[in-house]
Homo-oligomer: A and B are copies of this chain.
Amino acid sequence: MKLHCESALLTDLYELTMLQAYFSRHMNETAVFEFFVRRLPERRNFLMAAGLEQVLSYLTALRFDHEDIAWLRASGKFSAAYIDSLAEFRFTGDVDAMPEGTIFFADEPILRITAPLREAQFVETRIINLLQFQTIVASKAARAVNVANGKRLVDFGLRRAHGAEAGLLSARASYLAGFDATATTLAGAMFDIPVSGTMAHSFIQAHESETDAFAGFARAFPDNATLLIDTYDTEAAAEQVVRLAQWLREEEGIRIKAVRLDSGELGTLAYRVREILDAGGCEAIGIVASGNLDEYAVQELTEGDAPIDGFGIGTRMNTSADAPFLDCAYKLVEYAGQPCRKRSLGKMTWPGSKQVYRHTTAQGILEGDVLALADEDVAGEALLKPVMRGGVLQYSPPPLSAVRAYAQEQLSRLPLALHSLEPASPYPLQVSRALQELTHQVDEIQRSRADSDKQRWGLEAG
Binding site for B on A (CB under 8 A): 1, 3-5, 7, 9-18, 20-22, 24-25, 27, 31, 33, 71, 75, 77, 117, 121, 124-126, 128-130, 132-133, 156, 158-170, 183-186, 188-190, 195-203, 205-206, 208-212, 216-217, 219-221, 230-233, 236, 239-240, 243-244, 262-264, 315-316, 319-321, 324-326, 328, 331-332, 335, 340-347, 446, 449-450, 452-454, 456-459, 462
Contact = CB atoms under 8 A, between A and B. Distances in A.
10 contacts: A10-B168, A12-B183, A12-B197, A124-B159, A129-B164, A161-B162, A163-B164, A165-B165, A205-B341, A233-B450
A240 to B, nearest CB: 6
B10 A186 contact: yes
Nearest to A20: B220
B342 A231 contact: yes
Contacts of A189: 1, 3, 7, 9, 71
A345 B261 CA distance: 11
A105 to B, nearest CB: 19
Contacts of A169: 162-163
Contact of A17 (B156, B164, B220): B220
Given A163-B165, A324-B319, A457 B183 contact: no
B125 A205 contact: no
Nearest to A453: B209
A151 B75 CA distance: 24
A243 B459 contact: yes
Interface core residue of A14, A161, A453, A459 (most chain B CB under 10 Å): A14
Given A165-B165, A316-B325, 15 more contacts: A3-B190, A7-B186, A11-B185, A12-B184, A13-B184, A21-B199, A31-B206, A129-B161, A132-B160, A160-B326, A206-B340, A232-B446, A233-B343, A239-B459, A321-B325
A5 to B, nearest CB: 4
A456 B126 CA distance: 60
Contacts of A15: 197, 200
A199 B17 contact: yes
Contact of A205 (B161, B244, B342): B342
B184 A342 contact: no
A7 B186 CA distance: 8
A16 B75 contact: no
Contacts of A5: 5, 164-165, 168, 186
Contacts of A33: 202
A454 B162 CA distance: 42
B205 A332 contact: yes
Contacts of A14: 183, 197-200
Contact of A9 (B13, B132, B186): B186
